[in-house]
C-alpha cells in the first residue's frame, strides 16, 4: 500500500457497512493493534470515555476466541460460540464510535511521538502510515505447526488449524487432532459431532487440560480414541488430499501408519511480538515485559492479553487487561484533546451479494447471468471467510452491473459444495452462463489476482469471460 495520508484515509468498514467507505483522520490519540477480546474491550472503554480509537484488527477479526465452537465460561452466557461472542462485542464497540481497520501491521516505530504504524491491506497491496499518540498492543498469538513432511503440502487440503472453519467438510470421515491441551480437547469434541472417528494424538503421557469435566467427556466419548506419548512424523496423501499419517510411539520408538482424511492442529501458540523486537523489551520467550500496570518499557505503549501473558491465556483475562489498559491510559492522558466523534459510521448500504439457498436457486441465477457469476463458498464459523467477505462485498458494490455475485454456506448446501469440489473455505468459484468453471481460487494470492484483474478492467463496460483464463504459474 502506498501512503495515502493527505488528511484522510478511506477504508472498507467491517460488519456495519462492509461495502461503504469510511473517512479516517490521519492521527489518533490511541491506536489499538489487534482485533480480539482484549483489543475490543480497550476500544469500548476508550470510546465511552470520549476517545475515537482506531482498531487495526489484523488477519483474524475477533481473535483466537473465534476458534472456539462452544464457550461456557463467559459471564452472562450459558453457552455461546466464539464467533458469535466476538461479533457481539465488535458491534458494541462500533456502536460506541470506534473505527475498525481490517489490515495487517507491517512495522511500528515507537522511537518518538507520534508513533508511526505501517499497515498493509491483505488484498490490494496498499501501504498506509498511521500516527498515534498512544498505542495498545493486543495482537494475541499465532498457532504453532508441527514442521513435519507433508504438513505444508496438504495445508488447507487436509491439514488445518481450525476445526470450526473446516471440520464440516469431513462429515462421517476419520480425522486426527494433534494436541493435549484445552484447545485440542475443544477441537476433538467439536469434530466428534461431525466425523465418524476422531483420533487425538498427544505427545505427553496425559491430557493437559485444566477442565476435568471436559477430560472425562473426551475419555468416555465413543467416537474419540486417545494415543498418548505419540507424535506425528509424516502426513501422507496422493498429492491432492490426505490419506494417512505416520506416527511414532515414543516409549518404544515404533513407527506405524493409519488412515485419516484430515489432520487438525491444536498444539499451542506463540505471542505475535516479532514486530516489537528492538522497540519494546521482551522476555526470552518473546512475551512483552510490563513495567507499570499494563504499560510496557515505552511510555505511551500498553500491552494486553496473550502478547504479555504466558500463563492464563483466557479471553476473560484478556478483556480484563483491555479494560485496565484503557483506564490507565485515560489517567495518563487526562486533559489532552480527544479525537472528534464526528466520523462515526453511517448505516450500511444494502448488500449486492445474493445468498443462494438451494441448488435450484443457483441454477436459476446461472441461467439469468448475462456474462459471468462469482460464487463465494463459506461457512458461518470461518473467520478467514469473514475477512474475505469484506473484499467480496466491495467487489459486488463496484461491479454488480457487470458480474453477478452470490454466496453459498457450505454447511447448508453440502451437496453443492461437493459438486464443485470445495475442500476448504473461503473458496471463490467463477462460472459462466453455461455452468463452466472459469476460475477457482482458495488462497489469498488467488484472491489478489482477481482483485488486480477487476481493478484493471474497471473501465470496460462489459467483461469478457476470457479475461479469467489466467496463468497462475
Hey, which residues are catalytic here? 162, 165-166
In 3D space, the residue among 176, 144, 151, 178 whose CA is nearest the CA of residue 268 turns out to be 144
Cell of 268: 499451542
Q: Helical H runs in 126-242?
A: 163-166, 182-192, 212-220
**CA atoms of 139 and 142, how far apart (whole Å):** 9
Helix (H, G, I), strand (E, B) or coil at 233: strand
- Report the 10 Å Cβ neighbour count for 341: 13
In 3D space, the residue among 113, 37, 118, 117 whose CA is nearest the CA of residue 309 turns out to be 37
Burial degree of 61 (CB within 10 A; 0-12, 13-18, 19+): buried
Cell of 358: 438451494
DSSP-assigned beta bridge partners for residue 133: none
- Listing DSSP states for 375-402 in one string gives EEEE-TT-HHHHHHHHHHHHHHHHHTTT
Phi first, then psi, for residue 328 (nearest 5°) are -65, -40
- E strand or H helix at 104: strand 104-109
**CA atoms of 329 and 42, how far apart (whole Å):** 10
Q: How many CA atoms lie within 13 A of 82 on its CB side?
A: 27
Cell of 305: 492479553
**CA atoms of 375 and 392, how far apart (whole Å):** 10
Q: How many CA atoms lie within 13 A of 252 on its CB side?
A: 7
Phi first, then psi, for residue 210 (nearest 5°) are -90, -5
Burial degree of 213 (CB within 10 A; 0-12, 13-18, 19+): exposed
Bridge-based pairing state of the strands 159-160 and 427-432: unpaired
Burial degree of 279 (CB within 10 A; 0-12, 13-18, 19+): buried
**CA atoms of 412 and 357, how far apart (whole Å):** 8
Amino acid at each position: 500500500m502506498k501512503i495515502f495520508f493527505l488528511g484522510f484515509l478511506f477504508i472498507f468498514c467491517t460488519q456495519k457497512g462492509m461495502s461503504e467507505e469510511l473517512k479516517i483522520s490521519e492521527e489518533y490519540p490511541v491506536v489499538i493493534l489487534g482485533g480480539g477480546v482484549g483489543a475490543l474491550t480497550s476500544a469500548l472503554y476508550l470510546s465511552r470515555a470520549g476517545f475515537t480509537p482506531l482498531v487495526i484488527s489484523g488477519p483474524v477479526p475477533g481473535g483466537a476466541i473465534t476458534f472456539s465452537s462452544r464457550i461456557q465460561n463467559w459471564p452472562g452466557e450459558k453457552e455461546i460460540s466464539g464467533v458469535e461472542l466476538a461479533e457481539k462485542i465488535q458491534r458494541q464497540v462500533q456502536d460506541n464510535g470506534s473505527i475498525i481497520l481490517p489490515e495487517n501491521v507491517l512495522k511500528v516505530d515507537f522511537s518518538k511521538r507520534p508513533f508511526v504504524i505501517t499497515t498493509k491491506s491483505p488484498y490490494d497491496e496498499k501501504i498506509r502510515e498511521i500516527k498515534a499518540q498512544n498505542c495498545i498492543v493486543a495482537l494475541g498469538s499465532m498457532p504453532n505447526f508441527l514442521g513435519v513432511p507433508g504438513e505444508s503440502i496438504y495445508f488447507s487440503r487436509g491439514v488445518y488449524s481450525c476445526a470450526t472453519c473446516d471440520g464440516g467438510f469431513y462429515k462421517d470421515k476419520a480425522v486426527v487432532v494433534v494436541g493435549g491441551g484445552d484447545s485440542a480437547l475443544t477441537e476433538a469434541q467439536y469434530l466428534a459431532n461431525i466425523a465418524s472417528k476422531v483420533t487425538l494424538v498427544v505427545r505427553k503421557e496425559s491430557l493437559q487440560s485444566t477442565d476435568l469435566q471436559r477430560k472425562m467427556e473426551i475419555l468416555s466419548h465413543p467416537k474419540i480414541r486417545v494415543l498418548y506419548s505419540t507424535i506425528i512424523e509424516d502426513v501422507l496423501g496422493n498429492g491432492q488430499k490426505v490419506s494417512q499419517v505416520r506416527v511414532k510411539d515414543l516409549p518404544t520408538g515404533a513407527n506405524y501408519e493409519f488412515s485419516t482424511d484430515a489432520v487438525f492442529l491444536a498444539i499451542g501458540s506463540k505471542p505475535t511480538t516479532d514486530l516489537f523486537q528492538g522497540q519494546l523489551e521482551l522476555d526470552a520467550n518473546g512475551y512483552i515485559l510490563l513495567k507499570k500496570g499494563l504499560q510496557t518499557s515505552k511510555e505511551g505503549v500498553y500491552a494486553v492479553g496473550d502478547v504479555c501473558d504466558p500463563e492464563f491465556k483466557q479471553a476473560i483475562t484478556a478483556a480484563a487487561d483491555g479494560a485496565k489498559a484503557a483506564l490507565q491510559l485515560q489517567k495518563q492522558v487526562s486533559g489532552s484533546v480527544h479525537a472528534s466523534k464526528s466520523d462515526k459510521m453511517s448505516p450500511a448500504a444494502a448488500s449486492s451479494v445474493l445468498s443462494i439457498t438451494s441448488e435450484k436457486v443457483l441454477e436459476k441465477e446461472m441461467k439469468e447471468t448475462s456474462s459471468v457469476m462469482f460464487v463465494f463458498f463459506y461457512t458461518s464459523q470461518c473467520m478467514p471467510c469473514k475477512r474475505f467477505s469484506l473484499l467480496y462485498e466491495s467487489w459486488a458494490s463496484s461491479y454488480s452491473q457487470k458480474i453477478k455475485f452470490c454466496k453459498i454456506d457450505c454447511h447448508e448446501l453440502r451437496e453443492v459444495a461437493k459438486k464443485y469440489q470445495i475442500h476448504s473455505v473461503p473458496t471463490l468459484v467463477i462460472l459462466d452462463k453455461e455452468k463452466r468453471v472459469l476460475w477457482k481460487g482458495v488462497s489469498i494470492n488467488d484472491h489478489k489476482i482477481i482483485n488486480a484483474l477487476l481493478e484493471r478492467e474497471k473501465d470496460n463496460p462489459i467483461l469478457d469471460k476470457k479475461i479469467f483464463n489466467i496463468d497462475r504459474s
